Amino acid sequence: MGKTVGIDLGTTNSVVAVMEGGEPVVITTAEGTRTVPSVVGFKSNGDRLVGVIAKRQAVVNPENTISSIKRFMGHSLGEVKDEASRVSYKIVPGKNNTVAASVPALGKELSPEEVSAMILQKLKADAEAYLGTTVDSAVITVPAYFNDAQRTATKNAGEIAGLNVLRIINEPTAAALAYGLDKKANETILVFDLGGGTFDVSVLDVGEGVFEVKATAGDSHLGGDDYDNKIVEWLVSEFKKDQGIDLNQDRAAVQRLRDAAEKAKVELSGQATTNINLPYITADATGPKHLDITVSRAKFEELTADLMERVKVPFFRALEDAKLKPTEVDEVILVGGSTRMPQVQDLVKQLTGKEPNRSVNPDEVVAVGAAIQAGVLGGEVKNIVLLDVTPLSLGVETQGGIFDKIIDRNTTIPTKKSRTYTTAVDNQPEVEINVLQGERPMAKDNKSLGRFHLQGIPPMPARMPQIEVTFDIDANGILNVVAQEKGTGSKQSITITGSGNLNRDDIERMIRDAEMNAENDRKEHELREAKNDAEKLTYSTEKTLREAGDKVDEATRQRATEKIEAVRKAVNGDDIDEIKATMAQLETESHAISEILYKHVSEQADASEGKPGASNDGDVIDADFKEEK
């Protein structure tokens, strides 16, 4: 039987680790390094190069060298338009509306899964050489905000590489596993994971073998590559000012700029200035041109200031969802090579008031955590429990197009919650359950995961049937929704897989829209609620008039009917003040009718018993939807 390894398949670098003697060990590659550049290149004869040797020849062979492929996993061409302009190879349409990398040396295109599989094959071969046995299974990590398509693409890459992918786990969770393996006391930790192409912030409770994710947020298009690109853009701009030549038109020149930018970024982490000297960067009719420029850490921080602002958004969102203040976090764990930048470390100190924990290697900790999870699945590591969360709220559409949340975002899974609803009109034979996911108060602004109908509701007055809707999410993120009419036991259900794996852009758009449109949403929600209340009032008043019969005189009945029509006319419009004003007038008339009926009952009681009448009204819930306590 072969061994199982843990793999951090990174945007810039990848790492493989394994459990040996109950301890996680990072595997040294054939080149003697502990990380492998996530780069694949092809010679003119079609020979494949992976890792360090592929990265070395990228400058002279940019169109046949593929890097940062992780950013294109599970995406369509339209989704990666901006990203495609930042690499030296061509991104073209692939199969099934996906993207592919053009490789002239092969005369064909390669999917991101195929390229990633080549990197995984390199890691697999190095692990087998190190262990002296076959490697047939793996736990592979992905950013916490990878969607279902991206996770599936990663799993497919593993299978193409000849690996049985036992589990896909989130990178911050893997880092927390590595950090908290020997922790006995309970701690609240924040994992700040800024890698080559993605950024995640996760808040976890760790201790006694339990790793519970409290909240997660992130940006799967923010990482070290973006910091490199800021330097590249500046170099291109400065060179154009000086020489009048646009280096963006020369793929080989751009690749040299990328390499120089990455090196400068690393050097600026340890020194105040660095020099970028690229002789013969290009040439024109007057001869060769050279680039020689000094960049300071202050200039680098100025160029990347907008990226640092983007970093703050997921940080505060994760803490807000976890209902924590920065001071309530016990430890901050830095993950990813990009966290070595002084400005990132300074920002973390500023935001949390704490010195980041440096007890783990930011380049290796994710792979170590993946190896630990592999050990858990293989029985080598015991007494560890992982509890994840659902990233967006879940609920149903109710009358007036309102989104009623049943499970809030960042709720720990597995979870099960129920709520009871009712019908809106008399003798309603069925109801449609529209299952939604998102953060906006109106149903139309959220993502519909599925619809189903509950039929067989017996003829009853409106608001009489009791329909219980239950949301049940298991540990694998599979959502099962059941609707049952309590009186008859009639039941219907729907199972939704991958409910927590919306497209990353959709998730960010939903949350961003919720923040930007909060006031408009509040007003629209208030209007819909007012219309619902108005419809309930007209319904109850009409019902009272029908049941009262000749106990109400014609003049009173006429006034009430006119007020009902006024409310209905107001409901057809969007003036909330008019709706409330006409409702107030109808309520006054409704109260007058109630007084007439009460007086009539009292007089009857006096006449029959010769004593004051008594009323023993029960509690009445006059609402479209009733939450079950």
Helices (H), 572-622: 576-609
Residue with tokens 């609803």: 421
**Using CA atoms in the order 401, 402, 405, 410, what is the torsion angle rounded to 10 degrees?**
90
Question: Within 13 Å, how many C-alpha atoms sit on residue 317's CB side?
Answer: 21
Question: What CA–CA distance (Å, rounded) separates 516 from 569?
Answer: 32
Instruction: State phi, psi for 535 to the nearest 5 degrees.
Output: -65, -40
Quote the tokens at residue 491. 């039941």
Burial of residue 263 (number of CB atoms within 10 Å: 0-12, 13-18, 19+): middle
Which helix (H) or strand (E) is 211 found in, with range? strand 210-219
Reply yes or no on whether 171 is catalytic.
yes
The one catalytic residue in 8, 113, 388, 508 is 8
Specify whether the CB–CB gap between 474 and 435 falls below 8 A. no
Rg over alpha carbons for the chain, rounded to the nearest Å, is 32
Cross-strand partners of 169: 141
The one catalytic residue in 113, 114, 193, 524 is 193
Specify whether the CB–CB gap between 465 and 422 falls below 8 A. yes
Residue ranges with strand state E in 27-155: 36-37, 39-42, 48-50, 65-67, 91-93, 99-103, 108-110, 135-142
Residues recorded for the chain:
629
Question: What CA–CA distance (Å, rounded) separates 531 from 578?
Answer: 11
Question: What CA–CA distance (Å, rounded) separates 297 from 300?
Answer: 5
Burial of residue 326 (number of CB atoms within 10 Å: 0-12, 13-18, 19+): middle
Quote the tokens at residue 623. 């609402």
Question: What CA–CA distance (Å, rounded) separates 110 from 620?
Answer: 66
Specify whether the CB–CB gap between 138 and 163 falls below 8 A. yes
Quote the tokens at residue 417. 């919650």
The one catalytic residue in 3, 70, 124, 214 is 70
Question: What CA–CA distance (Å, rounded) separates 271 from 273?
Answer: 6
Instruction: Give the 3-state secondary structure of residue 6.
Output: strand
Instruction: Give the 3-state secondary structure of residue 251.
Output: helix
Question: What CA–CA distance (Å, rounded) separates 400 from 525?
Answer: 9
H helices then E strands: how many in the chain?
15, 29
Reply yes or no on whether 183 is catalytic.
no
Residue ranges with strand state E in 122-175: 135-142, 164-170
Instruction: Give the 3-state secondary structure of residue 167.
Output: strand
Burial of residue 60 (number of CB atoms within 10 Å: 0-12, 13-18, 19+): exposed
Question: Within 13 Å, how many C-alpha atoms sit on residue 103's CB side?
Answer: 25
Task: Give whole-number Cα distances, 605 to 478, 595, 608, in Å.
Answer: 60, 15, 5
The one catalytic residue in 79, 113, 114, 171 is 171
Q: Which residues are catalytic?
A: 8, 70, 171, 193
